[in-house]
Structure 1
Amino acid sequence: MTTPLSPVVPARLGAYARLAKLDVWDYYLALPLAWALAGFTPAAFGVLLVFGIGTVCVVAGSVAFDDVTGFRDGSDAANYGPNASARRLARKPLLTGELTEAEAVRFGWAACGAGALLWALAALVAPYAPLWTVLLGALCLCSSVQYSWGLKISYRGWQEVFLAGFGTGLVLVGLGLCTGSVGGFAAVQSVLFGLGPLLFGVYSNTRDAEGDAAVGRPTAAVLLTEGQNRAFIACLTVAEIALIVTAAGLGPAPWWFALAMLPAMGVRVAQLRRGVGLGDALAARLLGLRAHRVTTASLFAVDLVLVLGAGS
């Protein structure tokens, strides 16, 4: 017999899923990229599966803490105000009253704790676990928890560094656990992956600059003038493209690498035009998500070609 309370459970699970931002999975693409770099071996798949589930937990906990902090200081209320669509506002279950602050905090600690245990398990079962992977993994874990909680590194001018560094670190740690080392081309791909979250984060920060300034969150969009922020974003875009071209022409990448990355570079240029040229930060952010996904898919395809070529 169905009780009147039966719809409550799925509704609350949905609220927790939105608190964990499970619909934003772009950091998790680090795991298939690391698998590709490791040569698509079954052993690497098993290690990365454990590490990947742990990564979902770590990210879920860190974004939950971010929502709690944004709820407490009022920045989320400012950035997700009464003019926000119901769908966009639903991404903040603390603002809608679906979850309490205490429930979000408990969820954050439980998710981060589970993530830490799974990362430790991945290191234990991995064929390789050099010290640098353990230290880098610990840095990724601590910085994600402290992103807007505890030390609040994103409130101390480190937000952009974290956005790029966390993604880069995930690829490096995942690959290190599978192979024990990182080559030059793998390092280039790791940095390109890390630049993806940064290059959609800076457009989000541009849109949220007023609310962030009100609570003392010193993002680049807050610290710089409007013109300087546009120049900063343009420089990041040029740096990403330059890394691709340089790696193909002078670095460890195959000569055809830049040609393979043309679709990704095209979306990135379109993003720059939309956000900096036309001033549409929200549309540019969405293009940034696409650029990151196209970049990761392109890198995956490049690695697949190299593995197949080596085996032929």
Structure 2
Amino acid sequence: MEHVALPAAPEVAPIPWRAYARLAKLDIWDYYLSVPLVAALVLAAGTGADAGAVLAVLVLFLGGEVAMSAAMCTFDDVTGYRDGSDAVNYGPDAPARRLARKPLVAGTLTERQAIRFGWLTVALCVLCWAAAVAVAPARPGWAVAGTAALAVFGFQYTWWLRISYNGFQEFFLAALGWFFVLPLYGLLTGRADGFAVVQALVFGLGPLLFGVYSNTNDIPGDRAVGRRTAAVLLPPRGNAAFVAGCSALEAVLLVGSAVAGFAPWWFPLVMAPVVALRGWQWVLGFVRGEILLARRLGIRLHRVCCALLVGVDLALAVTGGGL
């Protein structure tokens, strides 16, 4: 019997997982530090909530944060690809490793693939946070509303409302951190303690205080595409004063919270390195002109600040100081 050869199956192109991971900027994890911070806050609060439920909510909320951040970064890349700003900043003369962080410009993903991925991550975020609310030990209205607002507005950094283009970028960077902390804390404890609010505000200022240095470095590109950041709208001295004011606000929260009785008396002593290094960051950026070095210091300083906050909360949990 004569053997009839079957036609070869068409080759299926492999799914570019690495390109999607780069599109989602999964290596940028500074906002995710909100989850260990809230976990430490809950321990310090001593609510007595079921440990299994607390862990489930933390994991689900973290999953939603990762998905939301992926959606925000994806749509930001689509916008940058469409308006040409990424083509300028990540052109053919850019180092290959740097160019690879922009899959649309590098040609490893199409615009259609990116948009589809963005909406899928938005849907995943909504599912994760809906599940987190469903299994939460407490569901105060303000925490549920805050979670819902975050799901609605979080991905609109440069999409739809284009928040960062319309003069609210700095507020958005800080508010994203606040909303990653307070609603989650409310879902786990049912309340918003003064010290928890202080830590949420400090946490949100962290990404802001390296974002404003990025904006200062990106003035020409942002101005060219109509992105109205404070660095673009203000004169150089005004921008430097604005950044100094944001840094001073962090110091006021760290010191003033103890004076007002929200934090233990020793809290400013523990956080003193943050205050000192924040001043050095400003000098580095606006006196010495090393903006990118100041930005890098800001990223590391945010992580140090989070570690110190977690340490303070764990100390309160161990000593029974409470919130």
1:210 counterpart residue number: 220
1:79 counterpart residue number: 89
1:38 counterpart residue number: 42
Moved more, 74-83 or 140-149: 74-83
1:23 counterpart residue number: 27
1:193 counterpart residue number: 203
* 1:84-103 residue CA offsets vs partner (Å, 9 max, x unmatched): 33222221111111111111
Task: Answer 1 or 2: higher relative contact order, Cα 8 Å, separation at least 6.
Answer: 2
CA radius of gyration, larger in:
2
2:102 counterpart residue number: 92
How far apart, CA to CA, are the structure 1 residues paired with 2:149 and 2:192? 18
TM-score by length of 2: 0.91
Q: Out of 231, 239, 242, which is 1:232 matched to?
A: 242
Task: Note closer, same or farther for the CA distance 1:17–1:209 as it changes in structure 2 (3 Å cut).
Answer: same
Moved more, 36-45 or 71-80: 36-45
* 1:204-258 residue CA offsets vs partner (Å, 9 max, x unmatched): 1111111111111100111011111111111111111121111122340000001
CA RMSD of aligned residues (A): 1.8
- Aligned ranges 1:58-137 → 2 under 5 Å: 58-137=68-147
How far apart, CA to CA, are the structure 2 residues paired with 1:236 and 1:186? 20
1:264 touches 1:298 (CA, 8 Å); kept in 2?
A: no
The amino acid that maps onto 1:92 is K
What SS does the corresponding residue of 1:157 show, helix, strand or coil?
coil
Identity across matched positions, percent: 52
1:143 touches 1:162 (CA, 8 Å); kept in 2?
A: no
What SS does the corresponding residue of 1:39 show, helix, strand or coil?
helix
How many residue pairs match? The answer is 306
Task: Note closer, same or farther for the CA distance 1:178–1:58 as it changes in structure 2 (3 Å cut).
Answer: same
Unaligned ranges ≥5, structure 1: none
TM-score by length of 1: 0.94
2:4 counterpart residue number: none
Task: Note closer, same or farther for the CA distance 1:84–1:263 as it changes in structure 2 (3 Å cut).
Answer: farther
The amino acid that maps onto 2:302 is H
The amino acid that maps onto 2:159 is W
Q: Out of 266, 275, 278, which is 2:276 matched to?
A: 266
Kindly indicate whether residue 160 of structure 2 is the aligned counterpart of residue 150 of structure 1: yes
Deviation at 1:125, TM superposition (A): 0.4
2:58 counterpart residue number: 48
Unaligned ranges ≥5, structure 2: 1-10
How far apart, CA to CA, are the structure 1 residues paired with 2:175 and 2:281? 21
